[in-house]
Amino acid sequence: MLFATTIFFALLACGSFALPAHSSTPHLHAHSRYEVDSNWDQGAVNQYPIHASCNHTETTQLRKALAELEALAEHAAAHVLRWGNSSEIYRKYFGDAPSAPVIGNFERVVNGDKARTLFRCDDPDGNCQIPTYGGHWRGENGTDETVICPRSYATRRPLSQVCALGYNVAEWPTNTYFASDLLHRVYHMPAISEWYVDHYTEDYQEVIEMAQHNNSYSVHDSDTLQYFALEAYAHDIVVPGTGCPGPASSASSGTSSVAPAMSSSASASSTSAAPMSSTASSAMSSMTSAPATPVQQYASSTLSIPPGCHTHANGELHCE
């Protein structure tokens, strides 16, 4: 024992062993006293609740997808915190808009209270019977609830497949990945969106254009946030320094020499890999409050669009 103690002090003296520098600072002692005494966040719901209607395999998939949702959103916020508008990716999606709303809209997905959110797997409104549906926000039938239909469990990809199987950000729908699909879905729930994140664009081209001409909306546009999160994740995590942005938009610009996010390879990318035709999306003329214009996939269904809902280019129903 004495021997060990001697060794310990010898190491300490050599500087090869150090106690945590903060271990005896009065400030941290004071801080921990508050932690013990106050219990300020009693009742916090830190995990997205999953309804009992989800079976074992659905619950397992949803848990993984929700963990990926948080990883995606967390990285998006981290990218913005690190680079701000010196990021070429940032400027592509948000122009010179201040970054605080962007950071906040991702942060709430990760660390916001989840009490008023719910993912369910039954089909209380019957919308899962529409063949193209991966899920839907319940709108007036359950403002805090989202239904995830069986189709999602069969088709939505994991983030490990970002930049694989033909995917690129510009040409593929944001709901290709379960995580980015869920990002869209949590932004319909007011606990996460605060009714601030909403749909102001219909397709990638509009997202890029909005960043250049109307970016006070970009920072709370659901699709912009989804595209940005995917591109930042692809560029920083999946294929470092390259990502898979897809063909550069004709509307895109960006000339900063300090940008960490280079997109020089974008113009060399194929333009033929898109699974979604861009004409399908340009056929969409309605937005949040004009459900009267059906898109191709939806028009093939015999069901009508519920009040307060609209469809996107990929046939998904979004209820406001």
* Contacting positions for ligand NAG (CB under 6 A): 55-58, 85, 96, 125, 127, 138-139, 141, 150, 153, 200, 213-214, 217, 256, 306, 309, 319
C-beta closer to ligand NAG: residue 214 or 269: 214
Counting Cβ atoms within 10 Å, is residue 123 exposed (0-12), middle (13-18) or buried (19+)? middle
3-class secondary structure, 204: helix
Q: What are the residues whose beta carbons fall under 8 Å from the beta carbon of 312, sequence distance 6 or more? A: 202, 281, 284, 295, 318
CB of 230 to ligand NAG, least distance (A): 22
Strand blocks (E) in 109-199:
118-120, 135-137, 145-148
* Residue nearest ligand NAG by beta-carbon distance: 96
CB of 41 to ligand NAG, least distance (A): 32
C-beta closer to ligand NAG: residue 167 or 298: 298
CB of 141 to ligand NAG, least distance (A): 4
Side chain identity at residue 206, one-letter code: E
C-beta closer to ligand NAG: residue 55 or 267: 55
CB of 102 to ligand NAG, least distance (A): 12
Q: How many Å apart are CA 292 and CA 305, to the nearest integer? A: 8
Q: How many Å apart are CA 261 and CA 248, to the nearest integer? A: 14
C-beta closer to ligand NAG: residue 31 or 213: 213
CB 251 within 8 A of CB 212: yes
Q: How many Å apart are CA 193 and CA 199, to the nearest integer? A: 11
CB of 289 to ligand NAG, least distance (A): 11
CB of 115 to ligand NAG, least distance (A): 22
Q: Looking at the chain, how many residues does it have?
A: 320
Instruction: Please give the angle made by the CA atoms of 133, 201 and 103, to the nearest 5 degrees.
Output: 95
C-beta closer to ligand NAG: residue 85 or 205: 85
Q: How many Å apart are CA 189 and CA 60, to the nearest integer? A: 22
C-beta closer to ligand NAG: residue 153 or 233: 153
C-beta closer to ligand NAG: residue 127 or 193: 127
CB of 17 to ligand NAG, least distance (A): 43
Q: Which residues pair with 145 in a beta bridge?
A: 118
